[in-house]
Amino acid sequence: MKLIRTSKQLTVTYFSIVAFAIIAFHFSMLESMIENMESIYAKTRMDKDIATATQMFQGTTLTHVSVPPFSEAYLGKQNLPSWVVLEDDVSDDKPYHIDSDSDTDLEFFSMLKKVTINRQVRNLYLIHYDEIYETSEAKMFDTQTIQLALSLLLLVVSLWVVMRISSRLTAPLSSLSKNLASRSPEDFVPIPIPDGAATREIYQLVDHLNGYQNQIRSLIDRERAFNRNASHELRTPLMVMRGGLTLLGKSDSKEFIERQRVRMIHACQEMEDYITTLLSLTRDEDPENLSFREVTEAELNLICRAHTDYQPKSSVVLEILAQGVVHTKLPVAALHILIGNLVKNALACTEEGLIQLIMLDNEIKVVDTGCGLDGKPHGESYGLGLMIVRDICAKYRCEFSLVNNDDVGCTATVLFPLEQEV
C-alpha cells in the first residue's frame, strides 16, 4: 500500500531538498569563485614576473634569478630544485599547481614560457608562492564559514515559518475533513466555512461541496417524490381497470363491454403517461435536446374527456376555449399529466358551476368556480397533483401560479417559455 504523507511531512521533505540545493549551490559557487580568483591572480602576477625575469637573464649566464617578492625563475627544466615536481601535462603560458609529490606543503604555482634570451629560445620556468594571498584565502574561508552558519540559521528559521504557515493553511482542511466525517448520510445542512485562515480556495471548495450536496439532496427528493407520486397517482387507473374487469364479468351487453374496454384503455394510457413522466422527472435529461411542438385543441379535449370519465359531475360544465397557440418542448405524456392534474384538481374543488380550460398564446389557464385555495377539496389528490405540476414546470422551465379569483374559485396558470427564450 502506498504511503500517504501528511502536508507537514511533504513540507519538511520539499524544504529539505530546497535547503540542500541552496547549500550545495553556495559551496560550489564559493569554490568556483576562489579557484577562478586564484588562477586569474596567479597568471597576472606570474606574467609580470616572467617579463621581469627575462630582463634579468639578458646579457648573463645565470640559470636562476629571484623575482621579489614571491617568484623564482629558472632556465631549463634541469635547473629546477630537486623538491619541485611538475605536472606531466604542463602547457605553455598557463599557471599550474606543482605536483603533489613535491617536497612541500605550500601551494606553489608553476608556469612554463618560451622566451628569447641572448638570442636563444629558452624554456623559462617560474615558481610562484604568495603567502599573503594564501593567508587572505584562509580568512576568506573563515568568513564564508560564518556566512554559511548564518545561512543555516536562516534556513532553520525559514523552516519554522513555513511550518507555521503550512499548519495555518491546512488547519481548515483538517477541520473540514473532520466535519464531513462526522456527518450522517441524511445530513444535508450546508457545510460551514471552517475556522482558521480560510483562503479563497477553501471558500470555493466548501461552495462546490455544498453544490454537490444540494444536487444529491435533489436527486434523493426526486426519488422519494417518484415513489410517493407513483403509489398515489397510479391507484386511480388501477381501480378503474379492476372495476372494469369486475363489471365485464357481470354483463353480456356489447355496448357495456365496449364502454368498459375504452375506460380500461384510457386507464392504461394514463398509467403509461404517469410512469413515463415520473421517470423523466427522476432523470437528468436535458430539455434543450427536445424540439418544439404545437398543442392542439383536440389534445386538450382528449385530456379533459379522460378525467371527466373518472369524475363525472352533471352539475359541473367543463369548457375548452382555444384563444391562442401554445408551442412547448414538453413531451406528450408530460403535458397530459400537467394539464390533467390541473383539471382533476379543479373537478375535485368544484361541486357545481363552470370550469374553463383556456389556451392563450404560450399560456394555459384552468379557471374554476370551486372552493378556492382556502377551502377543502373533496379528494386527496389536490396537494400531490400540484407537486407533480410544479416538478414538471421546474424541469421544463415553465412558470406556474395558482391564485384565488375575485369572486369564487381559483385560477391555475402555466406560462410556457417562448422559443427565443429557450
Domain shared by 57 and 94, yes or no: yes
Domain shared by 179 and 207, yes or no: no
Least Cα distance to 82 among 39, 127, 44 occurs for: 127
- pLDDT value of position 191: 80
- Is residue 193 assigned to a domain? no
Q: Which domain holds residue 415?
A: 290-421
Question: What band does 295 get if pLDDT is binned at 50, 70 and 90?
Answer: very high
Residues contacting residue 317 through CB under 8 Å, at least 6 positions apart? 353, 354, 355
Q: What is the pLDDT of residues 100-130, one digit of tens each?
A: 777 777 777 888 888 888 888 888 888 887 7
- pLDDT value of position 362: 92
- pLDDT value of position 321: 93
Domain shared by 213 and 231, yes or no: yes
- Is residue 5 assigned to a domain? yes
Neighbours of 313 (CB within 10 A): 14
Domain shared by 48 and 166, yes or no: yes
H or E, element range at 241? helix 235-248
- Residue 138 class from Cβ within 10 Å (0-12 exposed, 13-18 middle, 19+ buried)? exposed
Domain shared by 109 and 178, yes or no: yes
Domain shared by 280 and 297, yes or no: no
Domain shared by 268 and 352, yes or no: no
Domain shared by 108 and 222, yes or no: no
Domain shared by 280 and 308, yes or no: no
The CATH number given to whatever domain includes residue 207 is 1.10.287
Number of domains the chain contains? 3
- Is residue 191 assigned to a domain? no
What's this model's pTM, rounded to 2 decimal places? Answer: 0.48
> Between the ranges 150-154, 243-247, 300-304, where is the mean pLDDT highest?
300-304
Domain shared by 320 and 377, yes or no: yes
The CATH number given to whatever domain includes residue 373 is 3.30.565.10
Domain shared by 267 and 148, yes or no: no
Q: 240, 258, 284 — which closes off a domain?
A: 284
Q: 284, 304, 338 — which closes off a domain?
A: 284
Domain shared by 54 and 176, yes or no: yes
- pLDDT value of position 383: 52
